[in-house]
Amino acid sequence: MRRVRYYEYGGPEVLTVEDVEPPVPRAGRVLVRAEAIGVNFVDTRFRRGPGRGGIFQRPLPGRPTGDVVGTVTAVGPGADPKLIGRRVATLAEDAYAEYVVAEASWLADVPAGLDPGDASMLAMTGPVALRILRAAQMSTGDTVLVHAAAGGVGHLAVQLAKLLGAGTVIGTARSSRKLDFVRAVGADVAVDYARPDWPEEVRAAAPRGVDVVLDAVGGSVLRSSLGLLAPFGRAVVYGAATGDLEQIPVAELFALRSVTGFNLTAWRREAPDQARRETDELAGLFASGRLRTTVHVRLPLAEAATAHEIMDARSHLGRVLLLPHR
Ligand SMILES: NC(=O)c1ccc[n+]([C@@H]2O[C@H](COP(=O)([O-])OP(=O)(O)OC[C@H]3O[C@@H](n4cnc5c(N)ncnc54)[C@H](OP(=O)(O)O)[C@@H]3O)[C@@H](O)[C@H]2O)c1
């Protein structure tokens, strides 16, 4: 089978297509024949290497993770043989491959007929988009500020905020093309946060401040966002695309504001039943067409480097998908 790994850190060109034997699932794991693989931003950062003390640290050889959707073809010792034949979504390592090994305990059932783009979102990206809104205790009528709203998590979070009853949703992104997209997926206001005066634009749209901030950009974007929170406002920090781990200025919190961190792995470990229910809830929303994934591009596995180029250029709208058997 074909698989993509990297053996040195660097640009997209370090991604290497190789022919290998399909892996054999160990105890508690399954083998999945991948039909689609959602490419996640974090893997472009791991590929670049750790730099000096950076937060994106993964050893070599690089085995990119991905939001895999496919069919279980084999199970390892202890895994339920009835899983064979099931269509599932799973966050897996060594995911840029025709066959992928996944944890049997974290397989999301994929409704028959669900589009591979939507199905890929059930592995990680959708559950993150939904849970960060709930971690923020978003309630009906809230004003919600979603950063990087044109991205994989972002474009789902905008839609989910609306579905959960948000009043005003403000999405940020760079470039007018992305801002148009952010409005198209349902944001009431789209703000270009590459402009230095972006906080004033948010303030103009939400004069009393925003109730919820969803941020995985970090740095000055997070810092400015804290000042935009209304009294009782909540910010959820779930990443730092800039690599800049901002310090939270405690003085900002005295104005009745709070900040919460989120990480999906920790969430699944601490609240597995609720995490599973939310994945099923998302499957229902996708199946009914109330929630939609925009697939920016579908590429064959051998063009994984192009997928990373697109993400490095920050030009994607929504999901970048690899199709290993195309
Ligand atoms: N905590 C968790 O469990 C968890 C799980 C999944 C993902 N995440 C985080 O969620 C975020 C979104 O993930 P995703 O895969 O859906 O990615 P994505 O949003 O599709 O892509 C990342 C986006 O971040 C924005 N960005 C802002 N500053 C950037 C910078 N300095 N360099 C590059 N991009 C920058 C870019 O949009 P603009 O060009 O519009 O600025 C870019 O398109 C990531 O930060 C990821 O690490 C966290």
DSSP 256-307: T-EEEE--HHHHHHH-HHHHHHHHHHHHHHHHTTSS---EEEEEEGGGHHHH
Q: Domain 126-266 carries which CATH code?
A: 3.40.50.720
* CATH 3.90.180.10 domain extents, the chain: 2-115+293-323
Q: What is the pLDDT of residues 170-223, one digit of tens each?
A: 999 999 999 999 999 999 999 999 999 999 999 999 999 999 999 999 999 999
Ligand 1 centroid to residue 81 C-alpha, Å: 37
CATH number of 2-115+293-323: 3.90.180.10
CA dihedral sign, ordered 148, 150, 154, 160: positive
Pairing of β 229-237 and β 210-215: parallel
Nearest CA to ligand 1 atom 35: 241
Domain with CATH 3.40.50.720 in the chain: 126-266
Closest C-alpha among 270, 275, 317 to residue 175: 317
Name every protein residue with a CB atom under 6 angstroms from any ligand 1 atom: 40-42, 124-125, 128, 148, 150-154, 173-174, 178, 216-217, 238-239, 241-242, 262-264, 314
Tally of residues, the chain: 326
The 10s digit of each residue's pLDDT in 229-273 is 999 999 999 999 999 888 999 999 999 999 999 999 999 999 999
pLDDT at 246: 82
In the reported structure, the alpha carbon of residue 215 is separated from the centroid of ligand 1 by a whole-number distance in angstroms of: 9
User: How far is the CA of 35 from the CAs of 10, 95, 96, 298, in angstroms?
Assistant: 27, 11, 11, 11
Q: Which atom of ligand 1 is nearest to the CA of 128?
A: 5
pTM of the model: 0.98
